[in-house]
Chains A and B, each alone.
Chain A
Amino acid sequence: MGRGELLDRCQQAVRMTTDLGADQAEAYAESIDKLVARAEKSDLQIFKGQMETAIGVRAFIGGQCGFASTNRLDQLDAVCRDAIALARISPEDPHNVLPEPQEIAPIASLRDEAALTLTAESAIEYAASMLREAEKMDGRLIVNVASFNSSLRDSAVANSLGIGAEQSDSSFIYGVVATARDGDRVSNFDEQVCATRYIREIDVVRPVRRACENALASLDAEKGESFVGSVILAPGAVADILVRAVLFQISATNALNGSTRWKDSIGEAVAVAELTLLDDGHLDGGYASCAFDREGSPRRQLPLIEGGMLRAHIHNAYSSHATGAANTGNASGTAQSPPGIDTTNVIIAPGRQTSEALIADVEQGLLAQRFSGNVDPISGDFSGAVKAARLIRHGRLDRPVSGTMIAGNVFDILNHISGISSDREQILSQTLPFVRLENVSVSA
């Protein structure tokens, strides 16, 4: 189902819902056409073609709100009735509101037209080339999974206050999970995933090499050392520990729920002055970019932490109305769920030193590529194992280590960051640097 038709269906659903007795209504629809080529156990496993259109309807009766969705567009009447029935059992909440229409600046470049002609054979070839690349590197490598996913998506939203918007995009996600086996020795697995909107940017070799190098290195890993000292988090570990806890704190939903310590901290220092973190839903070509959010409000660039100071929480229509803050266009979700709040493209601004220079300054420490553990975003406590980790001695990378755990508190270590790298990596929708922390507890 194409763009124009999708918006028509949304507007039809809005009319039906109000005709059936709702005061206000909203409909959001998505049509997704996917090709998936997947390899397992170092051989091609399955090819899938998937196509689905779904619509989600919110009905508002006074301050009551109900949501229903379906992938059967021939049952639009039933889903509108369900949304109304669910609204009727819900108590009144004065903040259940729809956003007013605002001007939406288009993003021209989110659909790669070449993707419309991508064939099954091309998708299979991308997956097969990942296997060949791993095979060339080392005979001990096993590609547990290599997958190539292509997705063409049309989305549309309409509401009874006059919002009507639609967009088309393409995306390609590809990645690999690799292990190495040498006799009885089995490495940790390593997973690398890349995403882009454009066929021309697809580079299946890069994630394969990275995953295979990490898997091979962990074959030789031995037990680490216990100490308190410097830990450098690679971008993957920054995402796992720091970004996860910070994003929980900046969500207005969590602030409204009383589960954040940063509820009243806008304008206060929450991290070292070198840390600047943005959310940019309108980024040209960004993997999480869209001209409008799940409710039809415009996406924008929003500084969240600037020079260590908390600048904003992210909002949708509900939280904006409940707090009196501006709607930041961060309503999130699919056609099969009611709107929530989420970030889009998350970017940490680059620091002044290269990652090599960050390592060179460390006398004794640890470099962690990944983190597998517990991060409590409420208390900030984290504890868990580091993966693809290496010791640092006298400013140089030393031997790989396994069975090593780190622990601490995110909100404390945000104030003990001693360096942010100028080089950054993109992990799906996040652009992140290496971050050096001090006084971290390392147990082996």
Chain B
Amino acid sequence: MLKLLESLASSSSTWIELRYHARHSKRLVVRNGRVEETSSSEQTGVGIRAFVDGAFGFASTSDLTRSGISRAADVARSAARAFAVAKRQRIERLARATLARGNFPLETEDPLQDHTLDEKLALIVRLERQVRNEHELVVSSAVSYEEMIDEKAIATSDGAAFTLHSTRPGLRILAVAGKEGKQAYFLETIGVTGGWSDLFRARQPEEQVRRAVRLAVDQLEASAPTGGVAQVILDPDLVSVLAHEAIGHNVEADIVLGGAATADKLNQRVASEKVTLRDSGMSVLKPNAVGLMPVDDEGIPNEGTTIIENGILRSYLHNRETAGHFDVAPTGNARANTYQDEPLVRMTNTYIEPGVTPLEEMVASMADGYLLRGFSQTGQADSNGEFMFGVKEAWRVQDGHQTELVRGVTISGNAFETLLSVDAVGDSFDWEYPAGYCGKGQAAKVDGGGPFIRCRLTIGGSQEGANG
């Protein structure tokens, strides 16, 4: 396929990018003792982007013949020409860069394909049974397994020609506990880029089941927090969400050009000097990050970008178009979800670098506040840096001791004010972006991580006398 794409790209009269993408997905779901779903999906095609007269046009096709791809290329070129006429400001240039050539295979000692679906189904049947048997208050349970195998071949008319291969397995464990008409749930997610045993490298799934059940049950008795500004410790899971949703999107150069709060803030202080924040297509500090991507979909290597260095904003994230606009080198952040999508500026693995303070020390020196763990996968961040995220597990901390569990906690604030308030950065590190997916018009597998950090933000809770 790469040879065919290279041949079509080299004979194009205009700049063109041809991306073959085959995605093979499998999904197994067991719920309440029943195998609810065993499914597989294949989605294969070629996405073509043409750049003509300062405008992009895009077309996609699942016809993989030379003539089918050529027809789609003509559609993309025509669309670009039509757009060039209507566009106010034409794109002056795409940034020049050394473009990738060769093969970029996934390196794993234990490929997913070496394990049968029977084996994978047997594991999740066993884990789901463990959820139900773990505690008498469990009223509902589900465990699901998903794997996504991507094969890409990409060629551009200015010289990129390479193949990429990745496999991404993931596991989700849901426990719902109930008592006296009240219900509470806990959802645990695990995901990696890698093979079968890589999925269980950081933690064993049986431990995750025990944790999910314990927290679902404990939440039944938990009280609601009192709303207001509080000192909090965020775990790596919440740090990853803050880094990705509240900071990361606001440094994607297309969002910056759209008027994000980070516009004109380069080389200014936006965070405490204890904070250094990076995005990297490589899996630094720990292996198997979900957003592992050594080369982006434009053929630019992604070896990492320092976004915030000791509190100072140093760089945005770019594709070739935005890098051309800002007259900087592209950072390798152009990504497309499926063959039907055009590459956008996207994060890969976004994280805060670890510091020096042990978690125990942060808790011991806290007079009144909360230790917050886990993102509940609800929330939103705004282009002015305001955010609101749900928290899975919130513990009250009083006089240096972790005391009671509280339920239904949300946190909100301005991301940059929150980072300016950071007074301690932990000495550990984990990849923990809980959903593994980012949505920005298209889905993308990403990761995030960091240490524990201590900061100040607003806790959402109740005022006295309210319903619920």
Contacts of B258 in A (CB 8 A): 40-42, 142, 144-145, 179
**Contact mask for chain A residues 355-392; partner B; CB cutoff 8 A; 1 contact, 0 none:** 00000000000000000111110111111110000000
Determine if B184 is an interface residue (Cβ-Cβ < 8 Å): yes
Q: B56, B410, B461, B465: which contacts A46 (Cβ < 8 A)? A: B56
Determine if B181 is an interface residue (Cβ-Cβ < 8 Å): yes
Determine if A68 is an interface residue (Cβ-Cβ < 8 Å): yes
Contacts of B259 in A (CB 8 A): 41, 142, 144, 179, 181, 186
Q: Which residues between 323 and 359 of chain A lie within 8 Å of chain B, taking CB atoms?
A: 336-338
Smallest distance from the beta carbon of A314 to chain B beta carbons, Å? 17
CA distance A226 to B408 in the complex (A): 18
CA distance A256 to B45 in the complex (A): 38
Q: Tell me if A257 and B142 are in contact (CB < 8 A).
A: yes
CA distance A437 to B468 in the complex (A): 13
Name the residue of chain A whose CB is nearest to the CB of B386. A188
Known: A47-B58, A69-B42, A228-B465. A189 touches B79 (CB 8 A): no
Q: Which residues between 62 and 85 of chain A lie within 8 Å of chain B, taking CB atoms?
A: 65-72, 75, 79, 82
Determine if B78 is an interface residue (Cβ-Cβ < 8 Å): yes
Q: B183, B342, B460: which contacts A259 (Cβ < 8 A)? A: B183
Q: Tell me if B384 and A186 are in contact (CB < 8 A).
A: yes
Determine if B117 is an interface residue (Cβ-Cβ < 8 Å): yes
Known: A372-B379, A405-B410. A385 touches B468 (CB 8 A): no
Determine if A103 is an interface residue (Cβ-Cβ < 8 Å): no
Q: Tell me if A41 and B261 are in contact (CB < 8 A).
A: no
Contacts of A42 in B (CB 8 A): 88, 258
Q: A82, A380, A442: which contacts B468 (Cβ < 8 A)? A: A380
Q: Tell me if A439 and B342 are in contact (CB < 8 A).
A: no
Contacts of B41 in A (CB 8 A): 68-70, 336-337
Total number of B residues with any Cβ neighbor in A under 8 Å:
84
Greatest chain B CB density within 10 A among A142, A256, A381 is at A381
Q: Tell me if B384 and A187 are in contact (CB < 8 A).
A: yes
Determine if A87 is an interface residue (Cβ-Cβ < 8 Å): yes
Q: A145, A187, A376, A412: which contacts B408 (Cβ < 8 A)? A: A376
Determine if B420 is an interface residue (Cβ-Cβ < 8 Å): no
Q: Tell me if A69 and B58 are in contact (CB < 8 A).
A: no
Q: Tell me if B461 and A407 are in contact (CB < 8 A).
A: yes
Determine if A139 is an interface residue (Cβ-Cβ < 8 Å): no
Known: A188-B384, A374-B379. A337 touches B59 (CB 8 A): no
Determine if A124 is an interface residue (Cβ-Cβ < 8 Å): yes
Q: Tell me if B182 and A379 are in contact (CB < 8 A).
A: yes
Contacts of B176 in A (CB 8 A): 257-259, 378
CA distance A417 to B193 in the complex (A): 48
Known: A40-B258, A403-B458, A407-B466. A50 touches B60 (CB 8 A): yes
Q: B61, B183, B257, B460: which contacts A41 (Cβ < 8 A)? A: B257
Greatest chain A CB density within 10 A among B75, B80, B87, B467 is at B467
Q: Tell me if A336 and B43 are in contact (CB < 8 A).
A: yes
Greatest chain A CB density within 10 A among B57, B79, B88, B142 is at B79
Smallest distance from the beta carbon of B18 to chain A beta carbons, Å? 15
CA distance A440 to B140 in the complex (A): 30
Q: B58, B227, B342: which contacts A226 (Cβ < 8 A)? A: B227
Contacts of A379 in B (CB 8 A): 182-185, 407-408
CA distance A277 to B58 in the complex (A): 42
Name the residue of chain B whose CB is nearest to the CB of A335. B41
Q: Which residues between 342 and 384 of chain B lie within 8 Å of chain A, taking CB atoms?
A: 342, 376, 378-380, 382-384
Determine if A102 is an interface residue (Cβ-Cβ < 8 Å): no
Known: A40-B258, A383-B410, A403-B412. A124 touches B32 (CB 8 A): no
Q: Which residues between 40 and 86 of chain B lie within 8 Å of chain A, taking CB atoms?
A: 40-45, 55-62, 75-76, 78-80, 82-83, 86
CA distance A380 to B185 in the complex (A): 11
Determine if A426 is an interface residue (Cβ-Cβ < 8 Å): no
Name the residue of chain A whose CB is nearest to the CB of B86. A124
Name the residue of chain A whose CB is nearest to the CB of B262. A186
Q: Tell me if B43 and A258 are in contact (CB < 8 A).
A: no
Smallest distance from the beta carbon of B188 to chain A beta carbons, Å? 16
Q: Which residues between 180 and 217 of chain B lie within 8 Å of chain A, taking CB atoms?
A: 181-185
Contacts of B261 in A (CB 8 A): 186
Determine if A399 is an interface residue (Cβ-Cβ < 8 Å): no
Known: A71-B62, A440-B467. A43 touches B88 (CB 8 A): yes
Name the residue of chain A whose CB is nearest to the CB of B219. A379
CA distance A379 to B388 in the complex (A): 20
Q: A53, A179, A227, A376: which contacts B384 (Cβ < 8 A)? A: A179
Contacts of B390 in A (CB 8 A): 373-374, 383-384
Determine if A114 is an interface residue (Cβ-Cβ < 8 Å): no
Q: Tell me if A51 and B61 are in contact (CB < 8 A).
A: yes
Q: Tell me if A227 and B463 are in contact (CB < 8 A).
A: yes
CA distance A408 to B465 in the complex (A): 11
Smallest distance from the beta carbon of B241 to chain A beta carbons, Å? 13
Known: A259-B139, A413-B467. A128 touches B86 (CB 8 A): yes
Q: B140, B184, B227, B382: which contacts A407 (Cβ < 8 A)? A: B227
Q: B61, B89, B388, B407: which contacts A43 (Cβ < 8 A)? A: B89
Name the residue of chain B whose CB is nearest to the CB of A52. B62
Contacts of A45 in B (CB 8 A): 56
Q: Tell me if B463 and A46 are in contact (CB < 8 A).
A: no
Known: A72-B62, A91-B35, A378-B176. A441 touches B463 (CB 8 A): yes
Greatest chain A CB density within 10 A among B82, B228, B466 is at B466
Q: B37, B376, B410: which contacts A67 (Cβ < 8 A)? A: B37
Determine if A100 is an interface residue (Cβ-Cβ < 8 Å): no
Q: Tell me if B57 and A442 are in contact (CB < 8 A).
A: no
Determine if B114 is an interface residue (Cβ-Cβ < 8 Å): no
Smallest distance from the beta carbon of B217 to chain A beta carbons, Å? 13
Smallest distance from the beta carbon of A11 to chain B beta carbons, Å? 21
Determine if A109 is an interface residue (Cβ-Cβ < 8 Å): no
Q: A44, A79, A405: which contacts B86 (Cβ < 8 A)? A: A44
Determine if A48 is an interface residue (Cβ-Cβ < 8 Å): yes
**Contact mask for chain B residues 268-292; partner A; CB cutoff 8 A; 1 contact, 0 none:** 0000000000000000000000000
Q: Tell me if B40 and A69 are in contact (CB < 8 A).
A: yes
Q: Which residues between 12 and 40 of chain B lie within 8 Å of chain A, taking CB atoms?
A: 31-32, 34-35, 37-40
Determine if B462 is an interface residue (Cβ-Cβ < 8 Å): yes
Determine if A409 is an interface residue (Cβ-Cβ < 8 Å): yes
Q: Which residues between 399 and 413 of chain B lie within 8 Å of chain A, taking CB atoms?
A: 407-410, 412
Contacts of B34 in A (CB 8 A): 93
Name the residue of chain A whose CB is nearest to the CB of B410. A383
Known: A71-B43, A86-B39, A442-B463. A179 touches B383 (CB 8 A): yes
Determine if A121 is an interface residue (Cβ-Cβ < 8 Å): yes
Smallest distance from the beta carbon of A435 to chain B beta carbons, Å? 14
Q: Tell me if A441 and B466 are in contact (CB < 8 A).
A: yes
Q: Which residues between 216 and 232 of chain A lie within 8 Å of chain B, taking CB atoms?
A: 226-228
Q: Tell me if A383 and B340 are in contact (CB < 8 A).
A: no
Q: Which residues between 147 and 197 of chain B lie within 8 Å of chain A, taking CB atoms?
A: 176, 178, 181-185
| Chain A residues proximal to chain B, CB less than 8 Å | 40-54, 65-72, 75, 79, 82, 86-87, 89-91, 93, 120-121, 124-125, 128, 131, 142, 144-145, 179, 181, 186-189, 226-228, 256-259, 261, 336-338, 372-376, 378-385, 402-403, 405, 407-409, 412-413, 416, 437-443
**Top 3 A-B residue pairs of the complex, sorted by shortest distance between their CB atoms:** A409-B468, A374-B390, A443-B227
Residue pairs across A and B with Cβ atoms less than 8 A apart, 23 shown, are A43-B89, A44-B83, A44-B86, A44-B88, A46-B56, A46-B83, A48-B342, A69-B42, A79-B42, A90-B35, A125-B86, A144-B255, A145-B258, A179-B384, A188-B384, A226-B227, A257-B31, A257-B176, A261-B183, A338-B37, A381-B224, A383-B408, A384-B412
In the complex, given contacts A124-B86, A257-B32, A409-B468, what are 4 additional A-B residue pairs having Cβ atoms less than 8 angstroms apart?
A46-B56, A71-B45, A381-B407, A441-B227
